[in-house]
Structure formats: structure tokens, C-alpha cells
Structure 1
Amino acid sequence: MSGVDETIADLRDALSRLDGPARVPVLVRLGHELTRRYWRAGPGQPAALADLSAAVEAWDAAYRLLDAGDPARGQVAAQLGWLLAARHGAHGGDQQDRDTGLFVLGEALTFTNLPPALAAMARLSRGQLFLGRATEALSPAGARAGFRTGLPPSARTDAAEARRLFQEVLDGPPLSADVVAMTRTMLTIAESIQPLLDGDLARFDLNRIMEAMAAMQRMRHDGMPPMPWVPGDPLDYPVTVMHGEPPAPPRQATPAPASPARAASAPGVGSTQAPATPPPVDAESARGVAPTQTPAPAPPGDPVSARGGARRRLAALAGGPDQPVWEQARALLRAGHTAVAPADLDGFVGAAVHAVDADAGGGPVERGLDRLLSTVGLCLRQRRDGSGWGDGEDDAAFRAPAEHLVAAAGLVPPEHPAAVAVVEAVGGLLDDARPLSGVIDEIADTVSAYAARMPSRPPVVAALADLCHTVAALRDDAAPPPFAVAVPSDHPWHRVLSTAVAHARLAAAVRAGEPIDVDPALGPLAGVLDAVLRDDDAALRAALDAVPGPYPPRTAATLGAVRLKLGDLDAAIAALSPAVRDLDDDGLRGRGWWRLAEAYRRRGAAGDADRSRAAGSTALRCPGADRRRAARFAGWMLAEGRASEAFAALEHAAAAPDEPPDPLARDLLSVLVGVGVAPRAAAAPDVPSPAAVAAAVREIGATALLYLHPTDDARRTAGVLCLDAATDRLDLLANVPLTDPLGADDPALPAVLGRWTSGSLLVAASGGLDRLALAAVRGRDDRRLVQDVVLAHVSSGAEVIDLAGRSFAPVTAAPVFVVNPRGDRDPAMAEVMAVRRLFYPRSACLGRALEPVDGAGTPDDVRGRLPGASVVHLACGLRGTSLQLAGDGSLDAAAVRGAGGLAILTEGWAPALLDAGFAGVVGWQWQVPPQVAALALFMLHLHLVDRGEPPAAAVNAVQRWMLDPARDLPPFLTAGHLHTIATTDLTSPTLWAALAYRGR
């Protein structure tokens, strides 16, 4: 037995004695060793398949044990996806290998901590899988069906995605020469088959693709593997060791797939094998520039000649050699690509890009003009060659000229005469069908700022600047500014600017919730949008039937959501299921997965519960977090008794923002005009592991963290999920009827909470249950829960981790009182005076008081006192999360930062104060008589100062004191407090249970 065999045997033996997450490091090492043995046996060799499959199983097992937020998950997903791609391509694996490989590789690439070589491998493997799926359409059946009419859009989308991934590999960190050559060959193949996929046989270059396939065959013959493997030994988990320059692999190799040209006539080719390896393309391709069909003559080598060559070519094309170079560039751009012979345009592009790369020196203006010429040439050639522009799915090809334009704006001063040409070149970057979308979003701020500094702005410059303002406003979910077209009707940009104006007005109407004008020029989707806004189901069905197919993924996902709204569940699933896997729009992808989860759950066919759960779990990992949908998914998981999924969803929901209104209308608008009316999707929240949360619970000193959340939309039942601090265990304790302890004594909740008879509990109640009076739950011996257990509220486990890092200073260290700053709470002045004199003689006071104050209680006064304060007593108004301060001033608690210690509210409940930095907040879950609140807070300060109790215990002590009819009366109670005690039944839970504490 070899050393590798012995290691594998030892690792498998070790795995047999492990369970749960402890298996992950061993599985990672086993996966490495099995991959090593597969490689040595020879990729593509039948005898090696068993080792490859065993490696897939090991990496898959490790992947399933890792939480979505674990940094190691991305590296494990990349290794798993590469092996699945290898099995699919080199061993004729089935479609499931390909689909799963695409999924896990896509997930891997969302992780920013991937080593560069591993990220490159993931992109290349994913690109090969996409290209393999695209070439399936080039089988004989596909050829007969679609070469002259265009093949399915999904094939074009797959090829476009493959091109993007290959280009990202080339644009990324340097790799080995073999991997670069292979990637370039694959990029060439992906570009070469595009005319076939588009049904444009006139553009199909057979010679080019045959040259690429020949180069691939040569590399295979020389021992190039079907996938770039970057071997290494695992060091300490979770690190996956990668090296940029792989050693020479064995000479065994799988046969290269037939070229697409042969696939059209050779039976069976392209149906199961993923294409493999790629030949060098030109330098422009490596920079994200589409390769030319007619190679341009190489400009002279020295920098000065490079610039001169580019400008001589420009003068020949623009026909105005006596004009300044920027006017020539402007004239060429306005003339359009149809006015220039293809070979001449290619020659100009090559010379212009070479001049930029040569960096001919000179002043900033000269270098900026070099960039302007590159912008113009690349825009014209891209408009000539296409590459998907106008379908709303792929605008990456215009990124290179956009970058040149931004560079030009940074070099040419806005007061220079060439500045007009720089801004006007923006028009060349606009999508004629959707001018508010695409790369314009990436440069809008730069162009707006540049145009604003120009001393005078011609109409076209003003219009393009307004367009950029509109794009920025829509991106930031702000109302788009008024926008009109003031350029002559014969100007080349008049039509695209007019379209932009129409789209901006449509976006403004949707954002404001106003009716829209259905312009036939906007297409049939405008009718769907109009029906959604009017909530007219009959009109919506009719409008849907008028939308012609087939649909690209964004359109399919959005129309699937419309079908879900109408209750057409089968049609919704049929549209959503394939579309969400191909979407590159982060927000729409996440919403698509949520909608698919809902559709499966509502349909309820065999297996739909599992499909719904899988779709919801995927949605949790997508950018564009959604509080409402994540909370609803958590309820489903609680109802099904799935503790770990419920935990992840609850933590996700606690960190996610609320969904913007009318998401379906906004998604339709996004498909229609290319942009939405909501901010860009934020990254999915980081969900902590149960072990990390349990450690924080122990640090705080609590026994357990309880999650309470509704398990049905009607909120009639609630799930109780418990994270035990001692064992790190997550247990679903029960699904119980939801009753208010103030009004009824249902035995279900006491049966769950009665297991704790001492200590303290943290409670994360959500879905409207955060105002549930848990302290009043009546258990054994007719005792209330508050009499045995100290309760503290939190929003989530993530907040517990945050709070565990905060601490309380002694409350007497730096107390601050904010009292009656608006003159509407005069009784509070006497109450605060008594508290200050008895407990805090060296405190600061802001507002109006019966003694000298330290400030009027303005927002600045309060903000300046918060840092370093040990306790802040807020005897002021509270509206939502805003403190009502002196004059008309207010301070939003959610926006304050730098506070610490304890906050005490005399009215209301503002957990958002924890976001300001406080370690704890005392407040009121519902309103009680002012004199009762004053008495309770007097007793609270007594327990905090005289008895030195921490805040949670002090609140509990006050509640128990109020609940006890035989309560002791401190000797220094004021006459007013004694009157309240004598005339009020303080034992009523409607009074004492209103007092609540949130924090550590």
C-alpha cells in the first residue's frame, strides 16, 4: 500500500469515529488526497473515475456541513464544483453534475476570501460548463431547428456568461502560461460560436474556430489537462492551499470535443461533453476588448509613433485633418460605425488602444485625448459587432470604453475645449433600448461632476449630464430630477435621449405610485406593469398573454412572479425555476428564489416541501436581504420542526432591511427600462453559528437564548426555539397557541417556559411578538415567570454577540439627565430632582429643571454628552425612534453613534438606542400612568445605585416589588410616590409587566 493509500485509509478510519462539524477538517484532507490520487491515475482514464467520485463525495460532505457564512465554505464549494466539472467533462458525467457544479461554483465566487488561483479555477470551470451547455444547442437537431432563426436565448445567455468568466480569468492576477493559453482558446471558441447561436450565419468564421480547435488539440497532445488543477496539501483547516503555477500533469488526456462546425453534422457531439481547452487571442481580448475579425497592422513601436499613428488613422476616417483631434473624434463618433469600412475601423481601434498602452508621455491633455480616441473607437466597434448589447443581459463589453472615458475625464480639464467631446462620448456608451441601464450607472457620478465644472454646457452636454443625474437618483432610490431633451432632432443622440426621458418619467411614476401612460413604444411589458399597478387581475392576464416569448432570465423571473401573484402556480414555477439559476441581477435573483419557495409551498405537490425549503435556503444566501420573506420562511421552518434552518432564517431576518414597497412593480420596471427604483442589493447578512451565539450568551451570564416567532401568517401559533448556552444545542421546544398572558392563562406557554426556575433568559421575539408580556406568564404554584427568572430582550443572536463585547461602567460614574427640554413635562422636573439628589449628586442635567442645568437640551447638547455617559435618563418625548428635544429639535436614536452604558426612558420603547452603542435600554412596552412610571423608575435607580444590581436584575427586582402586595417601602419615597402606592393596584401585570429591559 502506497503512502497516499495509507493516508486515505487512516482518514476514512478517523471519519468513522467523528460526527457533525468535527468531520469537516478530516473531509477536507480526504478530499485533497483522493484528488491527488485521481490526478496521478490520469484525468479522463476510466480507472480513475472511482477516485474522482470518492473525492466528490468527500468535498460534498464537507460542503453540506459548513454554514452559509463560514469563510471556508467558498473554498470547499470551489473544489467541489471543479471536480463535478471534471467528472462531467472528462468522464461524461450526467446533467446533474453540470447543474450542481454551476451552482456551487457560482456560490464559491460570491466569497471574497478565495485565493486568486482558486477563484480563477472556479471561473474557468464554470465558464466551461456554461459553454458546454451552450454547445448542446449546436447538435444536429439544434442545427436543423435554429441555425437560420436563432437558437434558444438560454444558449446565447450561457455563451455570454462563459465569455464573461473567461475574460475575468484573463483580466485577473497572472496565472501559468498554459492556463492563460487554454483560457484564451476557450474565449475564442465562445466568441466564434456566437453567430451560430444568433442565427447570423454570415458572421460565422469557420477558419477562426477551426484554428482554435487545432490549438486546443495541440495543447491536449502536449499533456494539457481538461481542467486546470492547482494541487496542494491542506494545511490548517479551513485553508485550501493553491499554487499559481501547476506542475506538468500526466500525458493522458481525454479526446477534445468536436468543433461546433463539426457538431452540426456529426451525430451525438455536444450533447454530453463539456468543451475543454483554449489558444492565444490578441492583446485586446485580454483587456476585455472584443477581438477584431481583420487584424490591424501593428503601429510603430516607439510611443510618439504610436500616438501619431492613431491620429493619422483618425484624420483619414473623420475627413477633417485641419480640425483639432477632439473635433475629429467627435465627428467620427457622430457618423457612426456604418460610415466606416470594417477593416479601417479595426485598424483605428488597434492603433488607438496601442497608443494608450504605449503611454506616449506629454501633458495630461494629450494622454486624455489618447483615451478619448480609444473610447470612440471601441464604442463604434462594439456597436458594429454587438455581443448582446440591447438585450439587457450583458453590458460587460462596453466596460472597457467606459473605463477609457473616465480616465479621459480625469486628464482633460473641464474648461478645455475637448471636454465637450469627452462628455458627448457618453452617448456612444448608451444602450439604445435601455439608455438608463448598463455601464452608464458605473460612470454617472463621474460624468455629472465633470460636466458641472464646465464653464459652459452645450445642449447635448446638458442633456447627457441630466441623464447621469437621473441614473444616480434611480440607483439611490431618490426621485429622478426633471429631464428634457434639448438637442436637435437630427443629432445622433436625440432618439436615445428621448427614450431616456420616457423611461425616467415612467420610473418616477412607479416610484410615486402614480398611474402610468402605456405607450405602445414601450412594448407589451408596459401593459403588464400598468395592470399590476392598478391591481387588475383580468387585465393582467390579458397583458401577460400579449408578451411574446422566449424570455431572457430577468424577464422570465419577473413574469413568473406575476404568475405567482395570479395564483398560476405551475406556470410560476415553470418560469421561475430555470430563470433564477441564470440571473446575474443580485436583488432580482434573491426575490426570485423567495418567490419560487412560496410557489412550491402553496402548490404542495409531492416533493414541493423539500423544493420550497431548498429555494428558501438559497434565497438566504443571495444578496438583497429581505426581512419580511426571511421571517416568513423562518415560520415555515419552525412549523416543520427544522431548528437549524429556522435559526438561520431568524438571524437573517433580524439583520435584513425591510423590502421596498411594490417589489413586483419595481421588478417589472427594471426589466422594462433596465433599472429599478430601489437601492442596489446589499450583500446577504452574515449569519453567526449557533456555537458563536452560545458563547456570547455564556459571556453575558444567561442560561439560554429563546427565539419566539409566529409559525403561521395569521399569527395564531408561535414556535419556541432554544439555544442552550451550556451545550450549544439548538432545540425546537414547541409550537404553541399564541395567547396574551395578560388576558388568558393558556397552559402551552407555561409548559415550555416552566423548565426554567432560576437564572436569566435572553428572549429574541419577532414577528410582532416582541410586545408579548412573557414576564407575566403564570406557571407552577400560580407564580409568574418574573418571580423565578430574569428576562432580557434582544433582537437576535448576532446582537447578543455584539452586546457581549460591551460593558457597563458604575452608573454613578458619569450620569446624564435630559428633562423636559420642550417645556411639556413639568412634573418630570420634580421627579428628576429627587432622583438626582438621592442617587446622583454629581450628575449633568440638560433641558429644564428646578436646579441649574448644563444645557438647554438641544440635539447637539445631547449628542455631545452621550460618549462616556454611564447612564442617560431620558425624561423627554419619544416619537418613533426620535427623541423630542429643545425647540423643534429631535434626535433619531437609530442614527446616533458613540454612546455607551445604560439608557432609561420615562415613556416608550426604543430598542434602536442599542444601535447608538448603549449596552442596555430600559423602557415601556405599552403606556402606563405617568405616576406609575415615575415610581417604577425611582425604584429602578434605587436598585442600580444603593443595591448595585446590574440593569436586567434591577428591572426584575422592580417588577417583583410591584407584584408583591407585602412590599417593603423604602424610607425616602416621596409623598407623591406613597400616594401612588396607596391608590394603585401595582400587582396588576398591565402595570409592572410593561416595564422591560433590552440589552446584555
Structure 2
Amino acid sequence: MSYTTETIDELRARLAGLTGPARSEPLGSLAQKLYQRMMAAPIESPSARADLEEAIRCADEIYGYHREGDPQRPQVAAFLGFLLGFRDSQVRHGGERPRAIALLEEAITQGTFTASYSAILRVVLSTLLITNSEQRLTETMSLSPIDMLAGRRSPAADPNLDRAEQLLRTVSQTAGVSTDVLDMAELMLQMCGLMKTMHGIGANPLDLSAMQGLFMRFADMKKRFDAGGTGVVGLMRTVLEPGAGILDVPRDEVPVIIIEDEGEEGANEPRGLTPAVDPPRPARHDLMRSLVDLLSLEQDGWNETARLLLPDSAAPDVETVDDAIALASEVMESDDAELSEEDTALAHFVYATFLCLRQRADSHGDGTDSELGAQALLAAVRALPAGHSALPVVLRSLGAFLSPGRPLAGLETVAAGFTGRLDAALATGELGADRAAELHALRCACRAAFAAAELRKAIEGLPADYPWPVSLKAATQPLG
């Protein structure tokens, strides 16, 4: 979530006049906005790559302003490590992978995060460790068939896989982690087991029947990844939902970084930081109560919130919108276990709704609020128990987040997630005809957005001598 209304160009202009640690706050806002814009574009596009590179430079500079022991350093390490890991997942050059691993290890061992965000960091770190192990496996499989059949290779322990398994088991045993992340952890644990098996194949003469079973398990895993829509990259797309540490701290809560005198006096004295003292926060259930009271949602929170999204609905005043966004984000970021799944989902729905309302009031905005709102709406759907009566209400509200000018563009980052939920809701056969027609139309829009994104990727791979690229490119344009 963004706590600044400044655009990317405005943040760049402000940074041009700053030096040293004073750059930290605008750098954090710029890195986040660049990340958000990158995720709204095809990942392989030059613009997305440029935004990723600039976001990495921003996060790297912020990290340099935080010393050992700074309470914010693990949050910055987590974000920078994630960005480096994300780049590695796209280009697989491996050059910065060791640093990404070290940063994520620092964040996990020294930082304090919500259960859901900590789980995602562990899964991302496991992905990088498994990628390291893949290189070793490739070298092993390059042995001649004679060496493989004769069992001339001795298996050896792989610390990358051992650490990945440890991280993934921690995720699977952590309460409060979403089903999507748990499923990913389960699949990756299976992958670790398969890779360990393959590392040890050469210890004995090759068993072809065992190899066949191994490949069948790989095929089954691939089907499960494909069924999820986006696999590991899809998980990385949601890593900033609802937020990532320092980049989500409001300006007035950003700790002051103290620059000490480098003169001779006191040069040999130990240097330290005065940690920022955060004011005590109310329990999560109290925060939710405050949110319900602020918006008078006691009787029918789902429908009352949904009504605010209707085109002819009277918009709340600016102060109420800002207060609702801030309070809902507080609820989502808290990890107190007393809040029910339903209240968690309602907080996400409120957050999504008021981001949408703020976007409507800012006709000259860059669309960030609408994009984040759609992601929060998907989080609300995911948090609702299966079969909950409010599920169709939330799914129907997706239409409010589609821009009349470029409706499919706003769906690209969430299309895969919504498609599965819409399929499930329609499959129950319990919806009225009108509601079923609405959800079916939204499902078609999500599928069209996903297909358009895939088509753009396919077009980039066309050979230079393909004679009809113009028609294919035209097919990627928004529908009229």
C-alpha cells in the first residue's frame, strides 16, 4: 500500500535535491511504486525490466543507510532480497543469487514479520536454494550413461536442499498461513525430495522403473503448478500484499537515522543507534471493532461496504476515506489470532473498497490505488471460508475496479486468482440467474485478460520473418 500521493516522476525530482540518509523515505516510496508499476506490465517487457532494475537500486541504497542492529534493517533486507530473488527467477543468471539468499536469511533470522509475510519470505528463499541445487543436479546428469549405469557417482549431502526443507517445514507448521502459500510449500517440499532422489541415483545401477515413477511424479507436480495459474512467479506477485516492512511505514513513523560525528573525539567509542520506540497498538480485535464502528458496519458489513462501490453511491468525505484505509491496513498487518476468517476478509474488502473510492476522487492519479484495491479484493475472496454467503457479493464487486478505458489492464495481476474463485462460485449452482450472469461475465473478462497477457508474451517470441504480426498485436488491444 502506498502512503504517498506523489508520482514516480515527482519522487525522482524530490530525490534529486537530497543527499545521504534523507533520501531513505522518498527512495522507499519510489521503490514501491516502481515495483507496483512493474507488476502491472508484462514481466518480460523492457519497461518492466527497467522498473525492476531501478527499484533494486533504490532498495540497495536504503539498505546502505541502515547499520547492524537497526530495527528497520531486516525489513529493508527482506525487500531487497526479494527483488534480487525475483530478478533471478526471471533471468536465472545467478550472479546476485548468493546475495539475495544472504539478505533473506538476515531478514528471517533477525526480523519480526507477520506469520503470512514470514512464510512467503521462507518460500522465496527456498526457491533460490532449490535453484542453486538445480545447477549441481545438471552437472551430475552430464555424466556419461556408462558412468550412471555403473554407479560411479557417490551421492553427497546438499546443504541447499537441507536448508530449503527446513524452511518449508516451518511454513507448513505455522498457523495463520494462507492455503495458497501452504500448497506452494507442500509442492516445493516434494520437489526437494525428488531432487534428493535424483542426486543419489548414481549410488547404485540405474533402476529404469524407478526413473519412470520419478518422471511421473514430476509430471504430476507440473500439472498442479499449472492449475494454480502462475506457480512460483504468481506467489512472488503477491509478496507485497498487504505490504513489506519499511516501504509501508507512514512518513511520520519512519525512524530517524542518526549520523554521528566522525571527528577524533570519541572515535574509539562504540557506536550505536537510538531505536525508534513504537507506540503500543491495540489488540487486533479492538482495531476491527474500531473499523466497524467508523463505517457503521455492524448490521450488514458486506452489503453496506459493497453499496459504496455503486456508481450512484454518495462518496464518504476525504477524511473518512483516509481513516478507513489506514485502519483497515492496521487490521490486516496485525497478527493477533483472535480475529476470525470472516473479519479478516471484511478488513480486506473495506480496504479494497476505500482504495477504489480514493482512486475515483483522484482523476489524475496513476491508477495505483485501483490496482492495489483489486489485489486486496482478491485477498478478501481468499480469506473467506468456502461457501460463505458474502462470497458472491465480493466477487461481483470486481466490476468496480475495471477502468472503462482499459478494463483488461486492471485485471492482469489478479486474473488467475479470480478465475478460480469465480469458477468455484458458479459451479455450486446455487446462484440466482442475475448473479450467475454477472459472475460469468467477470469470469470471461478475467480469462480474456490472462489470455491477452499470454498472447503478448507469445508475440515477443515470434520469428522476425512471420508475415502477419500486425493482426496478432492488434488482438492484444483492449476490447471496445
Q: State the TM-score, normalizing by the size of structure 2.
A: 0.47
Instruction: Report the structure, 1 or 2, having the larger helix content.
Output: 2
Whichever of the two has the greater Rg, that structure is 1
Higher RCO structure, 1 or 2 (CA under 8 Å, sep 6+): 2
TM-score where L is the length of structure 1: 0.24
